[in-house]
Amino acid sequence: MMPFSSITDILSYHQEAPMLFNSELFLILFALMLLFYVLLRKRNTARIIYVILFSLYFYYKSSGIYFLLLVLVSVTDFCIARWISRSRSKGARTALLVLSLSIDLGILGYFKYYNFFLSVFPGFKPADIFLPVGISFFTFQTISYVVDVYRGSIRPEGRWIDYLFYVSFFPQLVAGPIVRASDFLPQIRRQPEVSREDFGKAVTLIIFGLLKKAVISDYISVNFVDRVFAAPALYTGIENLLGVYGYTLQIYCDFSGYSDMAIGIALLMGFHFKNNFDFPYRSATVTEFWRRWHISLSTWLRDYLYIPLGGNRKGKARTYVNLMATMLLGGLWHGAALKFVAWGGLHGLALCLNRFLTRKWKWFKRFGSEMKPFQRFLGIFVTFHFVCFCWILFRAGSLETARQMLTQIFTDFHPEVFPQFVSGYRTVFILMVAGYMLHFLPRRTYDGIRGFITRSPLLLQALYTALAVLLAVQFAGAGVQPFIYFRF
């Protein structure tokens, strides 16, 4: 029987140890939760309440008492959306939409940007404000719901518990993907069914996600990448460059690993999410990259920011302004610091340049679906290294750290150090090579692996999952690492 102190730990919030998908505690609790979930599959309301309670517990284990913030947002936007649908006055509807946006963005602004905006004033002392995990994700999700009701794209939800289920659903609650109400809400009322194909896909996604996050991302981060970014001046240029390549792989494996697990866990419960990553480093242009990277955010920014600003409908100059504004705000969404704004600005400039060159010269128009193999290779090479360059700003602790790293790369390269790196960081090097090789494997290879797992007996599927968990535990020498996007 489990000691009382252990039960107390399970029920208590520990800021230094938030609940993570790749933790043993979550895997055990989810397995138990899924057992009772299956028993309730034909009792719709009881099943919804059961999942809500587990989701709120999950968020409580991630952010403590701030789970009440999630409940508050669900109440205000549920009510406002219903008032919008009942109002016949356009002015009143617009006022209600502004009220909803003010509440959501006000909450997000206080917790995430209060210190950032007030830091411009001399003598300002930053306030000690706790940042609830994933606040940017669930606020964007609930904003999209109210805006869609305002536009008439969807009808307002009739039951508050259904809407709370949508906002709090634990697989994607703290780090996405950002799920649209039009895609998710109709699935709530259906009796959950998981076909053999769905089950195999879910198991594959969970295994891949766990290996990407707990084995590749965490290991190269703790054992190499973090050290280089902490003190780039202590390393040669080639080590700094390898650190950049390492972080480029780390952030992809970390975030796409979370998305894979979130989509897989939701699929085990009978819910279908859209893909959030589509091998982004295979992109031949920056425009293509943003169609493959964090797809739920890029499409959200397109539909709820870029298009409302005018999109490409108000002339060439306005299109470039809208692109820049969207990417600058997208950068700010990632964090309250100038480095994130600079990161978003660089991507905005690249998108504008890509659009300009594509319209100006016929040769650049070939950088699309019709490009030749060499053109695509060249495009992938240039785009990948531009993205790597931007990740330096994203990861560096400050702009000065980014400057030091670039200085080392361009003035103190020393390629002769490479053999020493391979011998001194053998496991890191092997994981980096393996990670990039897996990323550039043909899509049919992944389809083949998924088909193999799907056709395997249930006992073997459980064995594959257990082996992935065991491997993840073996590599977790420094403990379970939080997901990078938890702080967004």
List the catalytic residues. Answer: 334
* CB distance 219 to 428 below 8 Å: yes
- How many CB atoms are closer than 10 A to CB 357? 14
How many angstroms separate the Cα of 68 from the Cα of each of 15, 105, 161?
16, 17, 15
Euclidean distance between the first and final Cα of the chain, in Å?
38
Minimal CA–CA distance to 34: which of 203, 226, 282? 203
Distance CA 138, CA 55 (A): 13
Distance of CA 479 to the CA centre of its chain: 21
Distance of CA 45 to the CA centre of its chain: 30
Handedness of CA 124, 130, 136, 141 (dihedral sign): negative
* CB distance 391 to 331 below 8 Å: no
Q: Which residue has the tokens 């300002």?
A: 124
Distance CA 166, CA 81 (A): 14
Size of the chain, expressed as the number of residues it contains: 488
* CB distance 257 to 176 below 8 Å: no
Phi and psi, residue 293, nearest 5°:
-100, 130
* CB distance 275 to 295 below 8 Å: yes
Amino acid letter at 225? V
Distance CA 218, CA 210 (A): 11
Minimal CA–CA distance to 214: which of 262, 254, 177, 173? 254
Minimal CA–CA distance to 389: which of 408, 367, 405? 405
Q: Where are the alpha helices (DSSP H) in 130-236?
A: 135-151, 160-168, 181-188, 196-210, 218-220, 226-230
Contacts of 188 (CB under 8 A, 6+ apart): 48, 162, 165, 166
Distance CA 466, CA 31 (A): 13
